[in-house]
Structure formats: structure tokens, C-alpha cells
Amino acid sequence: MIPVVLSGGAGTRLWPLSRALYPKQFHSLVGAHTLIQQTVLRLQRAGYAESPLVLCNEKHRFTAAGQLDEIGASAQCIVLEPVARGTAPALAAAAQVVQAAHGDVVMGVFPADHIIADETAFQHALQKAVLLAEENQLITFGIAPGSAHTGYGYLRVEPSAKENAAPVLEFVEKPDESTARSYLERGGYFWNSGMFVFRTSTLLEAFALHAPQVLNHCAEAVKNASEDGPFLRLDETEFAKAPEDSIDYAVMEKAENTMMVPLDAGWNDIGSWEALWSALEKDDYGNAVRGEVLAVETQDSLVIADRALVATLGVRNLAIVDTPDALLVADRDHTDELKSLLAGLLSTERSEAQHHRKVYRPWGSFDAIEQGEGFQVKRITVDPGKKLSLQRHQHRAEHWIVVRGTAEVTLANEVFTLKENQSTYIPPGTVHRLANVTQAPLEIIEVQTGAYLGEDDIERLEDDFHRSSGD
């Protein structure tokens, strides 16, 4: 089986921790590894050591590649979706890429943001699914519902099908609460996990029969794709023409060979703060905490302190998430409604809706620790052996002070070294570059001054990562 990892989600219901430019799959929410790392390691432990094919947003490409590298796993290919069109076009493209590389093989599809507590049960279900897929079945995994959840789609099978694979009779949209309760009472309904297994030929034949427009445009998008190291950029013009749809409704619900394999493995898609609270270990009072937290007379609450001490007194059933630039305080029962809150932030063009104060780059990261009229202070970390682009700015000057490590500085036609407590000045319009040629991290403080300090005031002249000036 060739694993395909879907990493295109934005995780908006986990704001302010998850944001558009650094969504939940790249965070360590449960355990030491991030969710995408857990997904890949889980598949390796299941016996599928084949390097995964990863689908992700263009803006997340270096983060995805970097996080796989951290666990010693490299993707056989990272397919970049130029625009979001849903899982149907994504998987139509992925199946063609896999088939071109490996022939007609079984392909497993796994979102990068799920938690699986019981890996043994997961492995057994996966083995069953692979065998059925080899018989030209389209396989999805169903989760026995533990509650009348309104945030999931549902699969309907015969009520007698509890432990064995069964044909899917119906794919059901996310229901309201009363409808969800009726599903639990009637039986035969499972949560739709969003994980799939099928032969590439079986899936592509289903696309040709039920969604030919998706297939045709994605075929052209793959044919006209461009390679950039480990990245495969799908042709944007053709991919954008593909009708936006999910794989469930474009293909799976229309096909006559769709089957569900029950999965009882402690599955959780961490789709809300409520879901994260349920997945985390709790104290004697039902509190799940992370970071420096003092909880007094506090019950059934989630408290995440990523910035400073968070103290609570006499509260219950809250979700409190404190990040360096945004604080969320919400009733746990209302955390599924975060999309409306985020829409308000987007309508007022608040930067907190899109990115964190700390921004990751393929060479390391920077943290905008202070800013005001005409100045900005950043803490820049450059990973060993990495360097920023050769660049210049028209509207700002920069002062660099090394606080840890050794910096190699290019300034106009001069190259020199700066050690700890040494500094340099870069006037506006001057070509410059910062590099770490050592095997230890480099950390500097950058003070920017000028009339305009936006990130788009970067003219890249050379770049190891093939980024444009606006990237």
C-alpha cells in the first residue's frame, strides 16, 4: 500500500493555536510529535514504510517537508495544491501521480490531523481494508458514534453490520442534533472518518464514470505539473477548473462497490477544542492543562498557556488558550462555533486570523517580539547549514545583533563573520544575506527601522529554496 497523507486543512476551529499559515497538523497537540508526524510514524509502525505522498498547500510546503525530515521520513513526493478544491480533485490528482510512479497499486488516504489511540486495532482494520481494496472495492472507515455529534458526516450501513465490513448504503451530511440523536437510536450509522483505501485503477475508473470533469482537469493538471526538488506543483489553470467537491459525494456515494470497514481504535480528528479536551489526560477535577497553569476551584476546563502563567479561579467548563498574540476564552460547549468568530477577524483584516507572531521559514523562524511606529524587533533563528535569501529592502534599514552562534554576513560586496555580542547595520537598498555555516543554531536580534516594514518589502536576488519575492 502506498500511503497518501492529506495535509491541506486550515484547522480554523482550533484558533488561536491553529491558523491559516501554520494549521493544526503542524502542532504537537497530543504527545511529543506533531499530528502529521504522528500520522507518518503510525503508518510506518503498521508496516507501510514506503515514503508517503503528501498533498499540501503551496504555503505549507517547507513546513511539511521539514517536519518529515525531523523524524527521518522523507516524502516520495509533496504535491502542491495551487487552490483548494476539496478532496475529490486532490485524490484524483494523487491517484494519477501514484499510478505513474508505481503502477496499479493499493493507495491509502489518511488526513494528517487525526489521533489514533489503539494502533493495534488500526492495523487490523487497515489490513482488512487493503484486502478488500485488492478486490476492487472502494473502502472507507466508519467510527462507531460515541455521541450525537453534529460536526461529522455519517455513513449508513445495515444495522446488523457492527464489526464486519459492509456496503455503504448512504453518505449523510452533518446533521442537526435531533437528527444525530435519531441516528444513534436507530443504529447502523457511523461517523465518516475521512480515511480511504482503494486501488488507483479502481478509483480512477470511478472518477471516469461519476466525475469525469474532475478527472479530466486533474489529468491535465498532473500532465502540466512542474517539479521543484521534492515538490510537484500541479498546473493551477487546469486544477482550478476541476469542480470543487469531496471524494465522498463526487465518487464514493455514487459507486456500487463502496464498503465501510468499522474502526474502533480511539479515533479523534481533533476538530475542536472540545475534541482536544476529550483526548488529553485530565486531573482529578476534569481539567486538561498545558504550560504554566494554576487552576484553583476549576473544573472540566481546558487551559493552554503558551505565553505566560495562566491562573483560573472558580470557573468550570471553559476553554482558555493563551498564545503570544491572541487569547481565547470560551465555554467548551460553544467551541464548535469558532468559525463565526474567525470570520469576524477576517472581515476586519486582523493578522491574527492568518498567522502567528512566530513565523516559520525553510531556513528557521522569526518572532516579531515588539513593534511600534517606524520600528520592529524580531528574534531570528537560523538552522544549522541554512541561509536566508540574498535580498534587499527599499523602505527599511536593519540592525543585526548576534546573541547565540556565529553568523556569516554578506553586505554589498563584503562577506564577514559576526560572533556573539557583535553587530552590523544594513542601510536601505543594500544587498545582504544572513547565513549559518556552522552545525549549531544561530540566533540574532534584528531591529528594523523605516517608513514601511511589511514582509513584501523583500526583493530576492538569490534563494536556496527557489522562492519568489512575494513568497
CATH number for position 408: 2.60.120.10
| pLDDT greater at residue 470 or residue 142 | 142
Same domain, yes or no, for 16 and 128? Answer: yes
Under 8 Å between Cβ of 3 and 50: yes
Task: Indicate if the pLDDT at residue 332 is higher than 90.
Answer: yes
Domains contained in the chain, number: 3
Same domain, yes or no, for 202 and 324? Answer: no
Same domain, yes or no, for 197 and 257? Answer: yes
Confidence of residue 230 (pLDDT cuts 50, 70, 90): confident
Same domain, yes or no, for 15 and 83? Answer: yes
Domain for residue 469, yes or no?
no
Same domain, yes or no, for 451 and 375? Answer: yes
Sequence-distant (6+) residues with CB within 8 A of 34 are 25, 26, 27, 28, 67
Last residue of a domain, one of 301, 323, 347: 347
Same domain, yes or no, for 110 and 90? Answer: yes
Domain for residue 335, yes or no?
yes
Same domain, yes or no, for 163 and 202? Answer: yes
Averaged pLDDT score across all residues of the chain: 93
Domain for residue 470, yes or no?
no
What is the pLDDT at residue 317? 97
Same domain, yes or no, for 255 and 162? Answer: yes
CA atoms within 13 A on the CB side of 178: 0
Last residue of a domain, one of 314, 347, 380: 347
Domain for residue 17, yes or no?
yes
Which of 15, 10, 9 minimizes the C-alpha distance to 342? 15
Q: What is the pLDDT of residues 160-186, one digit of tens each?
A: 766 789 999 999 988 888 999 999 988
What is the pLDDT at residue 443? 98
Same domain, yes or no, for 56 and 125? Answer: yes
Q: Which of 42-46, 364-368, 463-467 has the lowest mean pLDDT?
A: 463-467
Task: Indicate if the pLDDT at residue 440 is higher than 90.
Answer: yes
Range of the domain at 6: 2-268
What is the pLDDT at residue 253? 93
CA distance 193 to 262: 10
Same domain, yes or no, for 10 and 103? Answer: yes
Model pTM above 0.85: yes
Q: Strand 396-404 relative to strand 442-450: parallel, antiparallel, unpaired?
A: antiparallel
Q: Which of 2-11, 199-208, 276-285, 433-442 has the lowest mean pLDDT?
A: 2-11
Task: Indicate if the pLDDT at residue 294 is higher than 80.
Answer: yes
Share of the chain above pLDDT 90, in %: 82
Q: What is the pLDDT of residues 110-134, one digit of tens each?
A: 999 999 999 999 999 999 999 999 9
Q: For cell 502567528, name the residue.
A: 356
What is the pLDDT at residue 41? 96
Share of the chain above pLDDT 70, in %: 99
Same domain, yes or no, for 291 and 432? Answer: no
What is the pLDDT at residue 161? 65
3-class state of residue 67 by DSSP: helix
What is the pLDDT at residue 385? 96
Same domain, yes or no, for 283 and 263? Answer: no
Q: Rounded mean pLDDT of 316-323?
A: 97
Last residue of a domain, one of 268, 288, 310: 268
